[in-house]
Amino acid sequence: MIQLTKKQEKLQRQVTSKWQFGLFLLTKLPMGLIAGMRLRELDTTRCVTSVPFKYLTKNPFKSTYFAVQSMAAELSTASPCLLAVAGHKPSIAFIIVDLKARFMKKAVDRVYFTCDDCQKAFDAVEQAIATGEAQSATFKTVGKMADGTVVSEFEFTWSFKQRS
């Protein structure tokens, strides 16, 4: 298990605090706040986010709009990346370089996105620092409703590079 630095622990506390995460969304990602997106869990192995099914997130087909699902799915893979890069000097830049999505069922309730690939972010950051070269890692996240029905699966590929 990875030992977090003090800066990483502080970030983890901030983003898992409902109030502080709400402020983060307000200032950095207001559409996430409007949609009702939540960060439920974040550690070095797992991240869980959610988005509700409500008037502002639904599509004409009476399910959660795919872009809203994509936003919550991205957050479940971006949060571990943000945690992994926190506190490094020089800093580490990261950006999405690829995205794949599959939609299996209509999302008609709150959807929970779970990413169990968080370790990959820490490994990619370590490699980027060691080699001085950009490193890529692909993170899978699965969206399920509370009853366990899988509604969507996403794969986000993130690239990490230490700034000079």
Q: Give 64-104 as a DSSP string.
A: B-HHHHHHHHHHHHHHHHHHHHTT-SS-EEEEEEEEEEEE-
**How many residues are there in the chain?**
164
Question: Nearest Cα to 18, choosing from 1, 42, 46, 45?
Answer: 42
* C-beta of residue 72 within 8 angstroms of C-beta of residue 143: yes
Other beta carbons within 10 Å of 156: 24
Collapse the DSSP code of 130 into the 3-class scheme (helix H, G, I; strand E, B; otherwise coil) and give the result: helix
How many structural domains compose the chain?
1
* d(C-alpha 160, C-alpha 136), whole Å: 6
Whether 1 is covered by a domain: the verdict is: no
Residue with tokens 């898992």: 16
pLDDT digits 0-9 by tens, 9-52:
998 999 899 999 999 999 999 999 999 999 999 999 999 999 99
Segments forming the whole domain that contains residue 28: 6-162
Which CATH number characterizes residue 151's domain?
3.10.129.10
pLDDT digits 0-9 by tens, 46-91:
999 999 999 999 999 999 999 999 999 999 999 999 999 998 989 9
* d(C-alpha 108, C-alpha 80), whole Å: 27
Whether 134 is covered by a domain: the verdict is: yes
pLDDT for the residue numbered 1: 67
Buried b (16+ CB within 10 A) or exposed e, 33-52: bebbbbbeebebebbbbbbb
